[in-house]
Amino acid sequence: MKITEVLSPSATSPPRTNKFQLHIYPIKSLRGIPLPTASLNAQGIAYDRRYILLKPAKNGGWINMFVGVSPEMALFHCDASSPGISFTVSYHTPSPPVAPPTLAQNSTLEIPFEPNCAELEKLNIEIYTAPAYPAYRMQDSINTWFSDCFGYEVILAYLGDSLGVKKSDDTARKWISSIKPSIPRSLLKEVSFSDGAALLVASEASLQELHPRLGNGEKAALEKFRPNIVVDGLVAWDEDFWAELILPRTGARILLTANCARCSSINVDLQKGKMGNGESGKLLKKMMRDRRVDAGSKWSPVFGRYGFPVAETDIRIGDEVVVNRRNREHTVWSGFCHLSANFSANFC
């Protein structure tokens, strides 16, 4: 998402811009939906990453699907059909195709933003730090459509709007203590151990800085980084030090607490549904040269900042944004989200 204006209180002439985007990704690892306005809450943006695709495991359980491992997920596009009610998913067949042709690949599927869970089968899946997280298996008609498009069995599961796992072990207590100074007490009650963050904020200026690294006219695709909010108007990588954003129209604050370390998902060719063969397929390696700036995740390059909205509010294209507070040094990733072997990043 891009916010119209970004102001830096440390600058003598704060840069301004009228560029702003908002995006949600209803199904984790599928293509996103741009929005003119959105609602912020304790879980981030309404309807963002509330569904997950799963494929069967040999032990009878389910494996979380992730575009960095299954790049063909990039061929599924989501679009808003009825705001607040449903969205559609379509499959874009690449050339050459990566799956056998089926009728489903030429059709569109409609999915409710909030299904009636009472009508759905309850599952236990491994997500974040929980080995048995409750989810809801969608209807067979939906699962069959996805399976026909992929060319192998998958199901769609609804995670719900109250994501999070309440934990009280030593690692959880350490993490809660580390974010406590930044998170208001009222919001802290809504934050669960698994919430690496509710939002992902990125900078258009930083994306532009990546383009010359690719050469041959290639450009880094913003959608590969899957941010919710994208702001413009400052120099590249300035967001590394952002601690708090303010939306003057509503007075709402977004607290930025950690860096987003990147993985192989940014090497995916979005049009072909495969790992990229050109320079963009080497983007992760190219970023490692100078973007490994987080001592807590020293082998991964950083792009974007994780954040929490302080209160429920709306956010619109055209809103002004102020960088209200900055850190003097890079924040250090705590590593709490990597406790689960089957964990796939919140924002993929």
Over the chain (348 residues), what is each successive 10-residue block's mean pLDDT? Answer: 37 44 92 92 84 93 94 97 92 97 98 94 78 88 98 94 55 63 61 64 94 90 93 88 90 88 96 94 96 93 90 87 91 57 45
- Per-residue confidence (pLDDT) for residue 175, from 0 to 100: 59
By C-alpha distance, which of 261, 283, 235 is closest to 330? 261
- Per-residue confidence (pLDDT) for residue 207, from 0 to 100: 95
Amino acid at 294: D
pTM: 0.86
Q: What is the dihedral of CA 325, 330, 335, 338, to 10 degrees?
A: 90
Sign of the CA dihedral 39, 40, 41, 45?
A: positive
By C-alpha distance, which of 147, 198, 157, 184 is closest to 315? 198
What are residue 34's DSSP bridge partners?
A: 23
Question: What is the separation of C-alpha 126 from the centre of its chain, rounded to a whole number of angstroms?
Answer: 18
Q: Which residues of 62-78 are buried (b: 16+ CB within 10 A; e: fewer)?
A: bbbbbbbebbbbbbbbb
Phi, psi of 122 (to 5 degrees): -85, 135
Question: Domain spans of the chain?
Answer: 2-339
- Per-residue confidence (pLDDT) for residue 229, from 0 to 100: 93
- Per-residue confidence (pLDDT) for residue 257, from 0 to 100: 84
- Per-residue confidence (pLDDT) for residue 41, from 0 to 100: 79
- Per-residue confidence (pLDDT) for residue 5, from 0 to 100: 35
